[in-house]
Structure 1
């Protein structure tokens, strides 16, 4: 569609980091945020340079070793050449492998976040395909972001969706909160993104309004800028992974002074006497008081006790960020935060109580739409085997071995084929050298990718897929009122195809095309999904246009539900009539269920469990590997905004000036971060926003080994997951522990290796 000047008009689209409009101007894609967004995300500017970047994959590619020698373990994965083939040959090879291996030995390894669209969502597409065409696959459960909390919360408070998305809203914070105690902070870089897209980023203005009204924000964490300036937050630096000790000390101080709400604890919780014995030291001889916590947390006794007394008699909201539970014993701070909020007696009040992961995503702190958002059905999986998502390397390296998870004793399945569509495990998994070894053990690795990520470089069969701008879709979320007609803005790169087209062709080869497609084209599916939402609107008395009208208009505003506090408000108002979906129907300060599992690394109540990964002579600094501000995870790391924020092409590692001076490091130096697991290069930035003893290197820089033939090669680009540990949070959740580890940092003085992360791997001549 063109305007009067012959140039393309702006058309709507949506991404996880915001709704936007785009048009072509003089051969360049111009992207502008949705006009109704008060605080748009600059990540949108990664799109223009990414569309035709050299990192894009133009044709189906087969790894040379796999093509010559057939399926099987191969140490050349990650450093082999590739052969371009026709789509027909590639699809024939994939279909043949799916038949040979069978559903029970296929791991469907998608991890979402590939698209804000409800239809072209790679995770839904691959799971639907494997279910309808093969009868199922070995699946993963939970997430890297919330692996510990997603398992713990249903035992002690309620489903994570309710506690994180249908709870205290930003409007309630702005209007009612007197003090927000933010463990791990409320970083805008996190709330800037959301599954299904987001049309209004309200967090900054909400914190500004609250602060101007007199609300106090207290940031507990090692990074001062984990709250925006608008919050005027008081910074309480804390030794990483010791938040539970601080929470216990705050609770001990309250209890010792008789300032806890015993009436609330008696009516709304269960297990307080058991926990009280632990808190006071009656059960183990160690009172969890401020004097005990001070040397653990690095926070003076006086500051701990003063903070505890500031919480009394005010509307206090306790928030716990995702980051706290992405560490060893990550279940504990989530649980301890709940008990602290319960002791204050304000759970369920407007602007008060407890909120898990407020600000962790754009979904949180918002009202929920009154109508459902349609999504592609994934069908039925008849294969029972599964793993916690962060245990993939364990599964591939130790098939047949037993492990424990959430009260179950399970066995790792034997996997012959890994099918990955949507997601980059070489971003979100830990100890990447261990992951490389694990992937080298499988018989066949099939990957759908628009670009040459490290995951694609380890694949045997690489199928090029379209980026979101190269297809139509519908963007929508249950926590954002704007449904978006995502118009196609560019032609596919090279021979790239939509995931749906690839899976439809594979399903046809397997005799299951009708089961997968239901006879619908991609546009037919969009109409079908839209019609379901429109029908729900009309049934509830709201107007909804026909699909063609919606598509031309570009947007449809969905009705929002009330700001009613969700599950916790209803429970507070009527605990007997609306009990919590926990075993007791109450907040479980002590969980008999968890205690019955007998896990020493996750007992039946919140407890201080000292981490094993602590600073020592060889690795004296804490590494905080948090989420990046310039991209979503590793997506479009080659995009313009992401590249502009690097230094000398490397990811930026921040450290305190005192730590830098002790190591002879100046601002802008290239430094080497290392420990026993690996090493990477980054550009140093000296910052007092980082507490002493801590270095901060965000995730998402594409893994770029200097010599892929080495067992533990240097990553020259700055991927911190060559340094992090691949262990579970505990036997309860087996969650990801990638947020924290320990390292040493030194100035790099050798010849600076080139960055090749975005250069396509070597290819041999075509057939």
Structure 2
């Protein structure tokens, strides 16, 4: 009798059917209601059962023998029984805490480990560390850290909870927008993922509707493929978007197209910004003629677009990628100023929005539902660092730095506990991070696979994947609810993060604070009961937990099948009655607060600041601008172990223009060396006319190779990127400001 079973589960890249036989996942199939399902789940059977799974607890031999910290990434490991490994780990955490204080512990994590609400590694590790006295935390994310710092100064609201959860829906754009101007594009490839899951992938379908109705969609960026087929492509040099926005604004003001009535009612500071824009302050008008050589767009094309934007209902979108660059604050701030000058903020289908296409949830019109979040407890440690400054922190304990108006000091970190993330994927200048990573006394990692981060830890606990435990799947940006059944037993001796931390908490006298006397199943029941009560208060009926287990999934009646209230409409109607959270209550074109910081790399209004590395600083040694987009075959570096096994999959492919390829005698498929003074990576050539000459693209996600070689063998672009903050205000990552050289690799 066959024990073959199929059940539905969900993930950050959507729902899918999982087919199991015994203790193995043997296949996955698309979720029927999804109109454009992601192909990512196809690799899950190979990944879950891959030979790189961590089968039992391991401790790095040199650390175990003599507490050596210098061999991380090169040493071998000793497998230990769970009880012994937990004893050693608990004793070490207690030693660091008791000797140096909780301010010497860094709680590293990222929120993408699982779409499940309870088994969310970031929540689990932070809850555990709070239960034992706290930890040094991080602010923001690599995707939006810079924007999270600048946009509250401009709009007076939290970027995460308001700007991309409550922006214009696709329905509103479809009914009202005539011109869609996309700085950085809107890429369905990126939109196949979303925090907590995106069940119905709709981005490509909406663009079919937009184009059928005659909406003009303009993709502004270095790659044609950053928007769906059929969109106009305005090829712009990376890092020059602010210059282009300024030139568009100059045309509006020069030709009398600025909506000064809106500026007077709803903004502050245009009188301080306008002299800079028109050249009265510095002798340089920010005209199309000035911008054309910077961004590579003809001046007449800029003028024509500005006139079109002023005479049609125009919605400006800005990709997250623009703020992942040196001076990334400027295009975000300037996009708001440009939209304000058009006077359409608060009108349906007009204004400005951020992150469309970055994740699949942006653009969905839903009634808000909350709940099912594991409480993390109180963190008494006040120290917080910008998330992209971890290597600086490890290198410079006690060193000072500026951040968003404050002068801060880096903590002296002696212990790092990482769960649910791979910093050796998303951080910049990985060779430098590898060196900084040798500094702490101890590094602990919970991880299913031997990732580059796990290989650089001292104590490694094998964690389950979402398919080896029960959970509930839901997202604020999605209208589905899932019971995520345990599909197979844990692989090897893997344990849930909760059970790992419960074992450590028991040894450290923190059981009550961490578990509150509950098992995983009891926590899931409690969180779900609270969610169900909240839903009932909103008039939404969801089954009890046993009922959801039986149903497996349900579509929630929270979809708004038409335009929803435009975010800034009440403010536009009466800015005095509905003021923004800025000091002025208005959109701040000039910010007295930022101006008071005295930052030359982020002054009181948006300005053109050339990046440290871009086409304008190219040299013969590094003539090509490298961009490093998200991969299309996975989420960040997840599932990479199995993907890398596929014939021809690694090294990663580098997109290069035919002119640049011909100048280097490169043919499609050639093995390449991509390099600069920071490092080198191997790649495979993909010659294409869909990228701007002078620009190359190498996706992120390939696992960072082992130290000791002079080239990363898999094609990780972050061996090439510079680890510098976007500015003293945002201190975000500057990955997209990178110059490289490319040559055939004959080794």
Q: The TM-score by the shorter chain falls in which range?
A: over 0.9
Partner of residue 111, structure 1: 110
SS in structure 2 of the partner of residue 54 of structure 1? coil
Mapped partners of 2:686, 2:542: distance in 1: 52
- Could you state the TM-score of these two structures normalised by the residue count of structure 1? 0.94
State how far apart, in whole Å, the 1-side matches of 2:649 and 2:732 are.
34
Structure 1 segment 430-449 matched on structure 2, within 5 A: 430-449=428-447
Identify the residue that residue 200 of structure 1 maps to in structure 2.
200
Q: 1:65 aligns with which of 62, 76, 79?
A: 62
| 1:680 and 2:681 are equivalent in the alignment | yes
Partner of 1:620: 623
Contact 2:5–2:21 under 8 Å retained in 1: no
What is the DSSP-based 3-state SS (H/G/I as helix, E as strand, rest coil) of the residue aligned with 1:15?
coil
Match of 2:78 among 70, 83, 89: 83
In structure 2, the residue matched to 1:292 is: 290
Contact 2:103 2:136 in 1 (8 A): yes
1:581 aligns with 2:581: yes
Shift of 1:28: 5.3
1:540-619 equivalent positions in 2, closer than 5 A: 540-560=538-558, 562=560, 563-613=563-613, 614-619=617-622
Separation of aligned partners in 2, 1:537 and 1:626: 38
Match of 1:312 in 2: 310
SS of the residue corresponding to residue 651 of structure 2 reads coil
**Cross-structure match for 2:739:** 742
Per the alignment, residue 34 of structure 2 pairs with: 37
Question: Structure 1's 692 and 293: CA in aligned 2 closer, same or farther, altered over 3 A?
Answer: same
Are the counterparts in 2 of residues 24 and 30 from structure 1 also a CA contact under 8 Å?
Answer: yes
Which residue of structure 1 aligns with residue 718 of structure 2?
721
Looking at structure 1, the residues matched to 371 and 234 of structure 2 have their Cα atoms a distance apart, in angstroms, of 40
Which residue of the partner structure matches residue 529 of structure 1? Answer: 527
Structure 2: distance between partners of 1:561 and 1:591: 37
> Match of 1:187?
187
Contact 2:73 2:456 in 1 (8 A): yes
Gap change, CA 1:565 and 1:162, over 3 Å in 2: farther
2:224 alignment counterpart: 224
How many Å apart are 1:520 and its aligned residue? 1.4
1:473 counterpart = 2:471: yes
Deviation at 1:360, TM superposition (A): 1.0
Residue 305 of structure 1 aligns to a residue whose secondary structure is helix
| Deviation readout 1:553-600 (Å, 9 max, x if unpaired) | 112333427543453222223322211111111111111111111100
Quote how far apart the aligned CAs of 1:544 are: 2.5
Alpha-carbon distance, 1:331 to partner = 0.2
1:99 aligned residue: 94
Contact 1:271 1:590 in 2 (8 A): yes
- The answer (yes or no) to whether the contact 2:172–2:348 under 8 Å persists in 1 is yes
- TM-superposed CA distance for 1:373, in Å, is 3.0
Match of residue 21 from structure 1: 17
- Report the Cα distance in structure 2 between the residues aligned to 1:44 and 1:639, rounded to whole angstroms: 12
Give the SS at the match of 1:335.
Answer: helix
C-alpha distance in 1, partners of 2:209/2:193?
Answer: 21
For structure 1, which runs of at least 5 residues remain unmatched after alignment?
A: 751-767
2:400 aligns with 402
- Following superposition, the deviation at residue 25 of structure 1 comes to 5.6
Question: How far apart are the structure 2 equivalents of 1:573 and 1:648?
Answer: 54
Q: 1:294 to 1:370 in 2, by over 3 A?
A: closer
Within a 5 Å distance, the mapping from 1:655-674 to structure 2 comes to: 655-674=656-675
Contact 1:167 1:568 in 2 (8 A): no
Distance in 2 (CA, whole Å) between partners of 1:166 and 1:190 is 19
Distance in 2, Cα, partners of 1:643 & 1:665: 25
Deviation at 1:31, TM superposition (A): 1.1
Equivalent-residue separation in structure 2 for 1:224 and 1:413 (angstroms):
44
Which secondary structure does the structure 2 equivalent of 1:483 belong to?
Answer: strand
Q: Pick which of 333-342 and 569-578 moved more.
A: 569-578
1:151-195 deviation per Cα after TM superposition (whole angstroms, max 9, x unaligned)? 111110132131122011111122221011000000111111011
In the aligned structure 1, how far is the partner of 2:371 from the partner of 2:559?
A: 14
Q: Select the residue among 8, 22, 25 that pairs with 2:4.
A: 8
The offset of 1:738, in angstroms, is: 1.2
Contact 1:173-1:206 at 8 Å conserved across structures: no
CA contact (8 A) 1:396 1:414 kept: yes
CA distance in 2, matches of 1:396, 1:606: 32
Number of the residue aligned with 1:147 = 145
Residue range with higher mean Cα deviation, 538-547 or 473-482? 538-547
Residues 169 and 564, structure 2, Cα contact 8 Å, conserved in 1 = no
